[in-house]
């Protein structure tokens, strides 16, 4: 059995091991694969793993030996799910590996926006503290999170993990989601989409990208938010209309944004958010702690073992 990983570098840049896959079959790992290289590299593969290399209909139909697709991520929109189902090729994702890492990134961005640590550290190194007449100084408002309202759009595993951290910090929690159900252990309330925009001091996005959620944070939504509010996105870039967010930040309609994802990754040079006021952007790394990637690797191997044993799990495209 031949196993081909099309883009293994981001999952394992050298600090993890591929041995789990190698024990299951002949394994070939490519750091990166261009679309025009996929057919040649995967022609004889029965198993393909991909992270962000797309597998559209025209590619899938040219891989007659393919029996299983593993996605080295939670999101699986890189695979044409309908075509894979038609070809009876199961697609497995890794749904739980990065929950804590992504939730913690929310607060990394939030602290950057509310305490401006990098800025003040830089000013210290410029001798502003040494030359200051007082024992301390700050030139940005310093904001305490206790008592503020965090609005969470999407209340799955990551949304709930984020809520638990917020709750431990004394924040009030409200949520908007397509599914309203009781969640034990978290003190929060369900609200409407308009209300979460109006009431949130911090709005954080944790919903999937669908036709309904694409562009949900647009000019209309941003105008409803407080001018002191912060927006955090560690989910999917296209949830936000980037032009509208940039205009909102530059006008002071909201106080700031922390983004780990963009609509086009890496961003094009004309992306308006690159020059927007009080907008921090990280390069899609919320998921990428070594601990999370190690869990991802282990679960991906387990997914393949389960498929080979005839008990597939984490399949996203089969009844």
Q: In this structure, are residues 188 and 216 in contact, taking their beta carbons and an 8 Å threshold?
A: no
Q: Which two tokens stand for residue 278?
A: 């009080």
Question: Which listed residue (86, 223, 265, 268) is catalytic?
Answer: 265
Q: What would you measure as the largest C-alpha separation in the chain, in angstroms?
A: 74
CA 195 to chain centre: 24
Instruction: Let me know if 265 is a catalytic residue.
Output: yes
Question: Which listed residue (120, 206, 236, 295) is catalytic?
Answer: 236
Compute how many other C-beta atoms are within 10 angstroms of the C-beta atom of residue 168: 8
Instruction: Let me know if 116 is a catalytic residue.
Output: no
> In angstroms, what CA-CA distances link 305 with 23, 32, 44, 58, 66?
10, 24, 20, 28, 16
Q: Exposed, middle or buried, 15 (CB in 10 Å: 0-12/13-18/19+)?
A: exposed
The Cα 255–Cα 247 span in angstroms is: 12
Q: In this structure, are residues 201 and 229 in contact, taking their beta carbons and an 8 Å threshold?
A: yes
Question: Which listed residue (41, 85, 157, 284) is catalytic?
Answer: 284
- Please report which residue ranges of 169-266 form alpha helices under DSSP H: 193-199, 219-224, 242-251
Instruction: Let me know if 26 is a catalytic residue.
Output: no
CA angle 142, 201, 231 (to 5 degrees): 90
Q: Are strands 189-190 and 202-205 parallel, antiparallel or unpaired?
A: unpaired
Q: Residues with catalytic annotation? A: 236, 265, 284
């Amino acid at each position: 059995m031949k196993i081909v990983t099309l883009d293994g570098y981001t999952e394992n840049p050298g600090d993890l091991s591929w041995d789990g896959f190698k024990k299951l079959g002949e394994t070939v790992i490519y750091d990166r694969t261009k679309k025009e290289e996929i057919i040649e590299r995967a022609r004889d593969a029965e198993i393909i793993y991909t992270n962000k290399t797309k597998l559209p209909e025209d590619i899938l139909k040219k891989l007659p030996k393919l029996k299983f697709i593993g996605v080295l991520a939670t999101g699986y929109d890189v695979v044409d799910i309908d075509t894979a189902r038609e070809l009876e090729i199961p697609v497995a994702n890794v749904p739980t590996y990065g929950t804590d890492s992504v939730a913690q990134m929310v607060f990394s961005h939030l602290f950057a926006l509310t305490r401006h640590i990098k800025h003040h550290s830089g000013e210290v190194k410029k001798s502003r503290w040494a030359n200051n007449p007082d024992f301390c100084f700050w030139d940005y408002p310093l904001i305490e999170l206790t008592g503020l309202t965090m609005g969470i759009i999407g209340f799955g595993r990551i949304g709930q993990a984020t809520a638990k951290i917020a709750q431990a910090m004394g924040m009030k929690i409200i949520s908007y989601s397509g599914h309203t159900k009781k969640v034990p252990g978290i003190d929060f309330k369900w609200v409407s989409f308009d209300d979460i925009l109006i009431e949130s001091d911090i709005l954080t996005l944790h919903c999937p990208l669908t036709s309904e959620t694409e562009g949900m944070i647009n000019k209309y939504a941003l105008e409803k938010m407080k001018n002191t509010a912060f927006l955090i996105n560690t989910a999917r870039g296209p949830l936000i209309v980037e032009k509208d967010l940039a205009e909102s930040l530059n006008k002071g309609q909201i106080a700031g944004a922390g983004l780990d994802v963009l609509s086009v990754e890496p961003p094009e040079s004309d992306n308006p958010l690159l020059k927007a006021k009080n907008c921090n952007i990280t390069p899609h790394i919320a998921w990428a702690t070594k601990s999370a990637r190690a869990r991802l690797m282990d679960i991906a191997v387990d997914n393949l073992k389960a498929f080979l044993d005839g008990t597939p799990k984490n399949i996203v495209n089969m009844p």
